[in-house]
Structure 1
Amino acid sequence: MEETIPGTEAAQIPQQRGTSPLETAVRYAEERHWDVFPGTWLVAADGRQLCSCGASACAAPGAHPAREDWAAQATGSASAARRMWEQQPTASVLLPTGRTFDAVDVPETAGFLALARMERMELALGPVTLAPDRRMRFFVLPGAAVKVPELVRRLGWPPRTLDLGVLGEGAYVAAPPTRFGARGAVQWACRPTPANRWLPDVEELIPSLAYACGRER
């Protein structure tokens, strides 16, 4: 079954239901060849959903690395992913960036504006996540973190004036069906499909993303 997310600005986004973190992590590794690693998970206590890390004021409860060596733990092997999630089936599904993809990180409102603009321009998009922290992450070819500052400057924007970042080597994104405490789950604004297996270069998307973030200043 699918349901839609209320309150989105440019689209009604299908929400996956009934897919376990284990099954999803294995599919990401097997079908998309993405590296995956298990993060923290949610623990019920006194009627609340707390992070397994034990921090009462955790900024991303149930949705951040559980180990300091997470980068070395990440694997593209479906069988290794299955073994890791069998140890903790409710662990979040995290994807390291800077390997098979980077991710351009923008506010949700700017992301929907950019998506609408890209659709009108018939640009080829990669997967895009929408997280409960009201951020969208656009998957692009690796190397974007190095390119973006100069690309933004060429468009006439001082990079520090835009709420636009790039997650590259040493960072990660939370992937569906990861939950952020009581705030909800990460979802796909643009799902991974056979058609978007080949990711766009950040140069193709940055004009729309920079324009949208500029409108949000």
Structure 2
Amino acid sequence: MAVALPRSRSPLTAVRQWYEDELRWPTAGGEPVQLLTGVRFDALDLPADAGRALLARVGPTGPVAIDRSGTAGPRMLVLVAAGAAEELPEFLEWLEWGSLGLDLTARGAGDRMPAPSPPPPHSRWPYGTGPREAAGWVRPPEPGCEVEATLPTTGTGAGRGGRGAPQAGRQGRAPDLVRLVSAAATECHRARLLRQTRRQTDRGYGDQPLAFSNASRISAGTRPRSLTL
């Protein structure tokens, strides 16, 4: 008597089911698997170099992913509370960053982000050591806990950004959304200055990393002007 063997799940099916069953996050149909933003979360979208500096500056946040699928270079996606994408332009204006054209946007209602492969159990990936796929988790979400409670928000109680909000998970206290946006804008501006200085130095001095280092750090505000060559 023939015995029907269970069908093995395809990797894409496994990824989709992990997000939908473990995290209750909706996914878009088709391949590759994508997550729908604006439903359970939004995502701040900034260049990866600015994102690395941001994470070092603000410390714990909610989940953070890296998207390598674009042609303009890798992007950091910092998950924030749903609705934050609509508030971002107003925050930037209020923080007096609105006129500078920062490379800082947000993915919200009607947008998508790539779905990184689920992290191995008990993993703690530092930046850049995840699978070399189109997307990867820098700070992965934690199944079994209310992920939305870890997301920066402007409210008090909807997330751990609010005063008096509960502590949960290993990620610690997330910054409120306004402070996160302020830090993200600063690092986007600083990263742009560094890139501009690198290009100018390459054209003017050739291969002189010391000249680039000092000039760029002064321009970016990371080195006191008294400490010049």
Aligned-pair identity in percent equals 36
The count of corresponding residues between Structure 1 and Structure 2 is: 140
> Greater Rg, structure 1 or structure 2?
2
Q: Could you tell me the TM-score, scaled by structure 1's length?
A: 0.59
Q: Does 2:83 align with 1:143?
A: yes
Higher relative contact order (CA 8 A, sep 6+): 1
Consecutive unaligned residues of structure 2, counting only runs of 5 or more, are 1-9, 119-131, 154-176, 193-229
Q: Does 2:138 align with 1:189?
A: yes
| Correspondences of 1:34-73 after superposition (within 5 Å) | 34-39=25-30
Give the secondary-structure state (helix, strand or coil) at the position aligned to 1:216. Answer: helix
State the Cα deviation string for residues 153-205 of structure 1 (Å, max 9, x = none).
22221255100001111110011139xxxx84310011011567112213242
1:152 counterpart (69, 92, 96): 92
Alignment root-mean-square deviation, CA: 2.2
Contact 1:97 1:168 in 2 (8 A): yes
- Please state which structure has a larger fraction of its residues in strand: 1
State the Cα deviation string for residues 115-147 of structure 1 (Å, max 9, x = none).
00011xxx4x11111121300111111111221
Structure 2 equivalent of residue 30 of structure 1: 21
Structure 2 equivalent of residue 206 of structure 1: 181
Supply the distance in 1 between the matched residues of 2:12 and 2:62 (Cα, whole angstroms). Answer: 21
Structure 1 equivalent of residue 50 of structure 2: 110
Supply the distance in 2 between the matched residues of 1:153 and 1:28 (Cα, whole angstroms). Answer: 35
Structure 1 equivalent of residue 64 of structure 2: 128
Contact 1:95 1:173 in 2 (8 A): yes
Q: What is the deviation of 1:207?
A: 1.6
Q: Could you tell me the TM-score, scaled by structure 2's length?
A: 0.56
Give the secondary-structure state (helix, strand or coil) at the position aligned to 2:66. Answer: strand
